[in-house]
Amino acid sequence: MVKTLFFASGAAVGFVLGTRAGRQTYEKMRDQSVELWHNPAVKEKVSDATETVKDKAPKLQQKVGALAKKATHHGADGADTSAITASTAGAPLEEATTPTPAAEPTVSPPMGGKRTP
């Protein structure tokens, strides 16, 4: 019982001290990040990056749109699959079958063990 009481009190003290140290570290990191964000050099770089993204976004959108359109109109083998002919539109799908192996593999008995018939 005494050991449990000592352990619980030690855990409580460790928790309180750890929380205070953790909170101080968090506050320090938060203050540094706020200071960095308000730095004029960082603000200038963020502004430049924003302008670059705004300038390049329409071109990127066109490229991605063209690639998406191409991907939806061509199959994996490059054949055009966008048009379905009337003869295959109502035809039922064939069932997929898995090929069976030509010969069953043989398993030899383990060496040094007893053979059971």
CA angle 59, 65, 71 (to 5 degrees): 140
pTM for the full predicted model: 0.37
**Alpha-carbon distance 107 to 89, whole Å?**
48
- Amino acid 86: pLDDT: 44
Distances, alpha carbon 60 to alpha carbons 48, 49, 67, 69, 101, in Å: 18, 15, 11, 14, 49
Does residue 70 register a pLDDT over 80? yes
Does residue 63 register a pLDDT over 80? yes
**Alpha-carbon distance 102 to 90, whole Å?**
35
